[in-house]
């Protein structure tokens, strides 16, 4: 289940980032940041499920940080 979600979010992030780089139109950047945050969060949860606590907690902290940056980008 987590693997399918992770693959889907990874594809979304790559497509949105590629769109922004090719067209030089960064309108979709906040959506890409939200997808990236969800991707990192799912990765962190997967690491916790495997028993790798340190990397899991770091990933979850990083996901919250990226989410905060995305929210700040939405507000400006």
Q: CB 34: neighbour CB atoms within 10 A?
A: 20
For 25, residues 6+ apart whose C-beta sits below 8 A from its C-beta are 19
Residue 74 has a pLDDT of 82
Q: Above 90 in pLDDT, residue 70?
A: no
pLDDT digits (tens, 9 = 90+) for 51-60: 999 999 999 9
* Single pTM value for the model: 0.85
Q: Above 90 in pLDDT, residue 63?
A: yes
User: What's the rounded Cα separation, in Å, for the pair 46 and 14?
Assistant: 20
Q: CB 9: neighbour CB atoms within 10 A?
A: 20
């Amino acid at each position: 289940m987590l693997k399918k979600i992770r693959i889907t979010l990874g594809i979304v992030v790559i497509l949105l980032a590629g769109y922004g780089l090719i067209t030089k139109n960064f309108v979709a950047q906040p959506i890409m940041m939200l997808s990236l945050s969800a991707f990192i969060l799912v990765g962190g949860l997967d690491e916790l499920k495997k028993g790798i606590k340190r990397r899991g907690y770091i990933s979850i902290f990083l996901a919250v940080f990226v989410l905060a940056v995305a929210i700040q980008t939405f507000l400006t």
